[in-house]
Amino acid sequence: MTIFAIRRPHGGCRLAGRFRIFVPGMIAVLFLISASSVAQIPDEQTGNVRSSAARETVQKAENGTWPHVRRVLLLRDYNTRVVTIGTGVLGMAAGLVGTFVLLRKRSLIGDVVGHASLPGIAVAFILVELFFPGHGKSLSGLLAGAALAGFAGIGCITLILRWTRLKEDAALAIVLSVFFGLGMVLFTIIQDLPTGSAAGLNHFIFGAAASMTTRDVQLILYAALAVLGVCVLFFKELGLLCFDDAFAASQGWPTLLLDLLLMGLVVAVTEIGAQSVGLILVVALMVIPAAAARFWVEDLWPMALVSTFLGGLGAYLGVMVSALLPKFAAGAVIVLASGCLFAVSFLAGSRRGVLWRIWEHRRLQIRVGRYDLMRACYEYLESSQGSFSPEVDNTSTKRRIPFEHLLEMRTWPPSRLRRIINRATREGLLNRAEPDLYELTDEGSRAAFLAARNHRLWETYLIRHAEIAASHVDHSADRIEHVLEPGLVRELEQELEKQFPHLAMPSSPHLLKQEGTVKASPTEESLAAKEP
């Protein structure tokens, strides 16, 4: 089933499509600008800026109390503001990029880029220490090396897929393991360098959000703004690439360049997330919000918007929990918070959530049970009286159906049949005349007549047009009549009514007479008489 329908807009549709992308983009831009200014506001306490030692003393004294919780939730601490804004913007950018990555079925690319970046960090540290001793831990130099290594990993995957017959999962596993092993070897070499140590570099593996500074947040803001701008400018093209790359190539779109652009966005998000959640866990920020958004929406641009929101919300909740419980690392808690949002979406999502699907399945079972019960009532009255019409047979004695006969006609257990009958009684379709004797109401008689008529019209249609044997048509009609839309059902009924106007209530194809050989039913005879 096609989920995302992408078409070239015309006239007002083009403006509407751009507007839908422009609005969330402008909201995110305004958030980034305001966050950049808020992050630089110093910590204030009764109008005076306290020293870091004084703040730590106050925080330890208030730890675990309501003032401490309120202080964290209101972002009164400078460090909490910095970490919240930095990780929140990172989560939004990761959620937006993750939408395209998930639909492109490249969810593990982020994991490969994260592992492939480790040797780049190590090489960048070694080179900077050789030329500028003591500055090997420069954030800009380390991120540049990580980005180059990430692109190298993507290039290796592309070459393996292009020049070998290996599948994509094998290529991902090879590049991930080889680059990660190389990174561990280089980290061991760094330990023996006389000009510096590898202390602090492990933060890029597991993340150290608590050590983020205003400069780090500004770097994340600028990178996230660039990622947002690219996604907005190429939203339609990236959506087309994720929808059907073969169709995009046939229309002349540069699919290879678009794929490389998407991988570049993945590298950008991975590298700016190394400081907060680490290279190992940053893939979760891209995949989890996008996967959670799929349970709420089906269209592309709402999915991108919901994924962006869930990415920022997961980062915010993770930082809040980490600030309230300082023993837990912020990066890991952010991933766990995103996982909780995914669990909520998995259960309660309005489109694909488990609880929603269970509820829809339950409603379908109730509707099917009511329909089958009404048809069984009509078939019993028809067989016992020779014919049944809601307008003619309107006395209560001619509408009575014993429970044991209904039980014989359906393959339901007695308990289920009683539940369906009780529900039909509450809905005004049946009345209980005696403990095991029920009678149809006026509304129930019309519902029973309509259910039997629709079922037999379907049987007639399947026998004539689908060439299904009369002995097998009942099962086919049962399966199809409950899932088609009412409009389509009515359209096919009208088609049969035009061909056979005399069939107000078609005879059942199963009422065959045995006279030495099987003779055709009245319905089949009328159909045969109409054939040219």
Q: How confident is the model at residue 62 (pLDDT cuts 50, 70, 90)?
A: low
Structure confidence at residue 387 (pLDDT): 76
Distance between CA 241 and CA 255 in Å, rounded?
A: 7
For residues 15-47, one letter each, b for 16 or more C-beta atoms within 10 angstroms of the residue's C-beta and e for the rest, the string is eebeebbeebbeebeebbeebbeebeeebeeee
pTM of the model: 0.72
Q: What is the mean pLDDT of the chain?
A: 76
Structure confidence at residue 480 (pLDDT): 58
Q: What is the pLDDT of residues 494-514, one digit of tens each?
A: 766 666 665 566 666 555 433
Report whether 409 contacts 379 (CB < 8 A).
Answer: yes
Distance between CA 87 and CA 279 in Å, rounded?
A: 14
Q: How confident is the model at residue 53 (pLDDT cuts 50, 70, 90)?
A: very low
Q: What is the pLDDT of residues 282-333, one digit of tens each?
A: 888 899 999 999 999 988 889 999 999 999 999 999 888 888 887 888 888 8
Four-residue CA torsion sign, 305, 307, 308, 312: positive
The vertex-150 CA angle with 144 and 154, nearest 5°, equals 145
Q: Say whether pLDDT at 440 is over 80.
A: yes
Q: How confident is the model at residue 132 (pLDDT cuts 50, 70, 90)?
A: confident
Report whether 155 contacts 114 (CB < 8 A).
Answer: no
Distance between CA 426 and CA 446 in Å, rounded?
A: 17
Distance between CA 316 and CA 87 in Å, rounded?
A: 7
In the chain the domains, ranked by start, together with CATH numbers, are 12-38+77-348 (1.10.3470.10), 360-517 (1.10.10.10)
Q: Say whether pLDDT at 178 is over 90.
A: yes
Q: Say whether pLDDT at 352 is over 90.
A: no
Structure confidence at residue 347 (pLDDT): 93
Q: Say whether pLDDT at 399 is over 90.
A: no
More reliable by pLDDT, 330 or 4 = 330
CB atoms within 10 A of CB 392: 9
